[in-house]
Chain A
């Protein structure tokens, strides 16, 4: 399969100084667009993807042949209506869907980067993607939207480019990765590192993949995306294609089988080193610290209209952490709305068919667009 023929890529020539100190240039940024940019160029929405997402927001992902990760929310007539808006999404740098990442070849050594790839941050991701605005000739985006790590990018984007977006919708996210967030990410990274195939990150040259480690990382993370109630209702103690316990370690329970499946399909589409790099970027995210303990200062120069959304059963990025962003915005008199959506689908709620969420998102965008706020 030739991945490249389905991937649009912008080569960013402009040097980008990363937070780690290194400077990169002439690096690829893979992106996809949906809908069309109008003549006024005032209908563009930049969507930021989460940890394991990519630029293929909706429709059929040409690489995985599955529905795009935000198909419920983005598309013709949907919350982010592609009949109306021009949707842009880029694969984050550090990722594995065409953007500059650890599976790329280091031009100096002619070897795959692996763990020689520079450690990147949410700030770096956003600074790379802002180049897309110049590429499309967009002065100001109508909106920046994203959930989870995508929400962190929304916050960072507004902080870095306060007048480049009219509206901002950070969903189910945080302004600072908590100890619990870091702990779960570290569990995933250690699972990858514990796989012998990982070979200190040099698996590419050996033509092997640390698929077992990556699958375990995905399984552990997947649990954190769901709620206890949701899991109990969906799986309970139901058995997997058997009438009784088998007194062994096969997947007796449906939940075990489900998690194993989630792990196995994930390794087919995701690179283990990318997983390390992106989780690291999330862990390093601390917008509060960037502004010396005062999150409000991150937003003091923006006129953007904010809409913050959280979910009742999200224990990974709980409502209070989302509310902290609201509080910081109110402290500088920003225009901010907030709603906590009732859902038992956990952190993953923003990716799923949660009608109250989809309705709120649509109403906010469509009303803000007709207002033509500046």
Chain B
């Protein structure tokens, strides 16, 4: 289980309705079902992963979040979760707008491109950074819109959504991000976790 799943779960109330966008193998869904008795649905692009979720008894729709979120009416879910995939969409602006339309709240996690290892990698080697959380080469990475924690905070102002809570994950420890520590968190946070609302 990814370390941020517990953190995501802590942001969600019991019995909430949740849509996990890009639910992968359904591990977060199972966790939320068990721990939060959440009414949980998933949307997943990979047929194999959908099959895996079905074998776990999870309700999953095969689909592409970029096009298939539009089928859900406004405020269909209490929470919509988007885990580490915002950077892989062709149009992240559209996806964020859709998340906040479909969900009353959204939880978005992003691999932080501002992490010092990433910065150092580019600075010293002069090649596109490859780290444990970003293992692909530039030419085969699905991550076409990488951003930093700071970028995402800026993005909230541009896109006009509210950040309720922002957390940084470093060494499996979670800390709050605020205005005064943003520089530090953006340098040392491996992952940014944001609870947002329109």
Contact A326 B51 (CB under 8 A): no
Interface of B, helix, strand, loop or mixed by DSSP: mixed
Instruction: Tell me which of B55, B59, B60 has the highest count of chain A C-beta atoms within 10 A of its own C-beta.
Output: B59
Decide if the interface of chain A is mainly helix, strand, loop or mixed: helix
Asked if B62 is at the interface (CB within 8 A of a chain A CB), the reply is yes
Number of A-B contacts (CB under 8 A): 55
Contact (Cβ within 8 A) B71 A342: no
Q: Whole-angstrom distance from the CB of A198 to the nearest CB of chain B?
A: 44
Q: Which of B36-77 contact A (CB under 8 A)?
A: 41, 47, 50-51, 54-63, 71-73, 76
Is the Cβ of B59 less than 8 Å from the Cβ of A360?
Answer: no
Whether a CB of chain B sits under 8 angstroms from the CB of A76 is: no
Q: Which of B41, B57, B73 has the most CB of A within 10 A?
A: B57
Chain B residues with CB below 8 A from A367, complex form: 54-57
A363 within 8 A of B: yes
CB-CB < 8 A to A337: which residues of B? 54, 58-61
> Are B59 and A305 in contact (CB-based, < 8 A)?
yes
Q: Count how many chain B residues have C-beta atoms less than 8 Å from C-beta atoms of the other chain.
A: 18
Assuming the contacts A335-B59, A340-B47, asked whether A326 and B71 have C-beta atoms less than 8 A apart, the reply is yes
B56 CB contacts on chain A under 8 angstroms: 367
How many whole Å from B181's CB to the nearest CB in chain A?
40
Question: Interface size on A (CB < 8 Å)?
Answer: 24
B183–chain A nearest beta-carbon distance, Å: 42
- Does A253 interact with chain B (Cβ within 8 Å)? no
| Assembly CA distance A307 to B58 (angstroms) | 11
Interface presence of A336 (CB below 8 A): yes
- A364 vs B53: C-alpha distance when bound (angstroms): 10
A:327-354 near B, CB below 8 Å: 327, 330-331, 333, 335-342
A92-110 contact mask (Cβ, 8 Å, vs B): 1 or 0: 0000000000000000000
Please list the residues of chain A having a beta carbon within 8 angstroms of any beta carbon in chain B: 305, 307, 326-327, 330-331, 333, 335-342, 356, 359-360, 363-364, 367-368, 370-371
